[in-house]
Amino acid sequence: MTATAHAIVGGAIAAAVPDPSIGIPLAALSHPILDLIPHWDFGWGWKKKSKILLFAQTAADLSFGLVVTYFLFGRLVDNLYLTIAVFLSLIWDFLQAPYWLLGWKFAPFSTFYNVQRGMNGKIKLPWGILTQVATVGGVVLASRFFH
Ligand SMILES: [Zn+2]
């Protein structure tokens, strides 16, 4: 999924689970679970994109995601806990980025690439965005409910 979707879900988990020793592993686990849901993201067709375009899109997605996440949860959750949860909800893609952007096609980067490629559910636009909006919206609402 987009970095925005992963970051918001990581933040929502931190907001819903008061105990970081539970919330942090859950945030890390949320990434592969979300990626199973059919979606679209900027990585789609990455081989045909220039690395600069891919980097710019990914950086914009990440920045936007962090702004929205801190806007939604920054006042609800201890910021250190929130930052760790969000970082771990994204780390799978951070570890894959050198493969995409630098051509580092060796472990551990290739491992994350191969595992994630195998798990990634794909669906075309606009459905690929709508599935993310629905999933993230549902998780945020649920986190408010548990808070
Ligand atoms: Zn991923």
State the Cα–Cα distance between residues 28 and 8, nearest whole angstrom: 13
Q: Domain segments of the chain: what residues?
A: 3-146
Place 35 in a pLDDT band, splitting at 50, 70 and 90: very high
**Distance of CA 117 from the midpoint of ligand 1 (Å):** 8
- Percentage, residues of the chain above pLDDT 70: 99
Q: Work out the angle at residue 134's Cα, subtended by the Cα atoms of residues 129 and 15, and round it to the nearest 5 degrees.
A: 115
- Whole-number Å distance, alpha carbon 128 to ligand 1 midpoint, is 14
d(CA 89, ligand 1 centre) in Å: 9
Of 26-30, 97-101, 140-144, which has the strongest mean pLDDT?
A: 26-30
| 64-101 pLDDT, tens digit each | 999 999 999 999 999 999 999 999 999 999 999 999 99
Q: Report pLDDT for 120.
A: 87
Distance 119 CA to ligand 1 centre (A): 9
Rounded Cα distance, 98 and 27, in Å:
22
Residue that has been written with the tokens 């918001």 in this structure:
8
Is residue 45 predicted with pLDDT exceeding 90? no
For the beta carbon of residue 6, count every other beta carbon within 10 angstroms. Answer: 29
pLDDT at 147 over 70: no
CB atoms within 5 A of ion ligand 1 belong to 35, 92-93, 116
